[in-house]
């Protein structure tokens, strides 16, 4: 009798633990996608103004436990402003793609503190 009761309880807990594991994996992938977006934003912000066009294109990369594709698009808003758009698409389709836009302005040719 006790063994039957134990097996029924363990069977019920197996389904719950399976769902908890699935949700935990999903949360970890969302965190890894956030890290990939932060990396893409850092890359877009650290590039020189003249080199922004070199970012255009797609490539595969890994962040933590996630394999993803990162694509960059660069568009001119005006003569002194460009927008860099980063799209992170995780492999496997369990987490949706995320898009990030970084606006960059042309730096001044000289610092206002420059004294000749």
Q: What is the pLDDT of residues 10-46, one digit of tens each?
A: 888 888 999 999 899 888 888 888 888 999 999 999 9
Q: What is the pTM of this model?
A: 0.74
22 inside domain = yes
36 inside domain = yes
Query: Edge-to-edge strand order for the sheet containing 81-90?
Result: 57-63, 66-78, 81-90, 98-105
**Count, residues in the chain:** 116
56 inside domain = yes
- Domain interval for residue 11: 2-105
112 inside domain = no
116 inside domain = no
The residue with tokens 């949360």 is: 27
Confidence label for 99 from pLDDT (cuts 50, 70 and 90)? very high
Q: How many percent of the chain have pLDDT more than 90?
A: 33
78 inside domain = yes
Average per-residue pLDDT for the chain: 87
Q: Give the chain's domain count.
A: 1
Residue 64 has pLDDT above 70, yes or no: no
């Amino acid at each position: 009798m006790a063994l039957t009761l134990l097996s029924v309880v363990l069977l019920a807990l197996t389904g719950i633990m399976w769902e908890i594991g699935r949700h935990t994996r999903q949360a970890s992938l969302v965190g890894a996608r956030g890290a990939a977006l932060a990396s893409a934003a850092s890359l877009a912000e650290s590039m020189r103004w003249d080199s922004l066009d070199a970012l255009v294109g797609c490539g595969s990369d890994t962040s933590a436990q996630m394999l993803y594709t990162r694509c960059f698009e660069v568009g001119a808003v005006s003569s002194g402003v460009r927008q860099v758009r980063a799209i992170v698409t995780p492999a496997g389709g369990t987490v949706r793609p995320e898009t990030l836009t970084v606006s960059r302005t042309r730096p001044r040719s000289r610092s206002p503190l420059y004294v000749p």
